Amino acid sequence: MDKMDTFMVLLGVVGTLCIVSMYLAIQIEKISVHNPIYSWANLFGAVFLLTSIAYDFDSADIGGVMIEAIWILVSLYGLFKLYTKKENKNDK
């Protein structure tokens, strides 16, 4: 395994830890889904995982690519909703 392969494996591990740690934090009520950290961590985790998957992509990775792409879109939607909601409150 060369340095780039190792980096991609570590990137995937960090991405997994980002997503799973936020899921755990929700389950043990240490964070709210309305906290921007939740969506940011999920976004970065999904981007890291998608990058790791895409690095050595083959057709068996389609499911992983799909779930991470959807995770990215949902995280972006959550951030958009969160920040536009805050802006609307500040306008009143």
Sign (positive or negative) of CA dihedral 24, 29, 34, 40:
negative
Closest by CA to 18, choosing from 50, 45, 58, 46, is: 45
**3-state SS record for the chain:** CCHHHHHHHHHHHHHHHHHHHHHHHHHCCCCCCCCHHHHHHHHHHHHHHHHHHHHCCCHHHHHHHHHHHHHHHHHHHHHHHHHHHHHHHHHC
Look at residue 43 in the predicted model and tell me its pLDDT: 98
Q: What is the pTM of this model?
A: 0.88
d(CA 91, CA 20): 35
Q: What is the pLDDT of residues 39-68, one digit of tens each?
A: 999 999 999 999 999 999 999 999 999 999
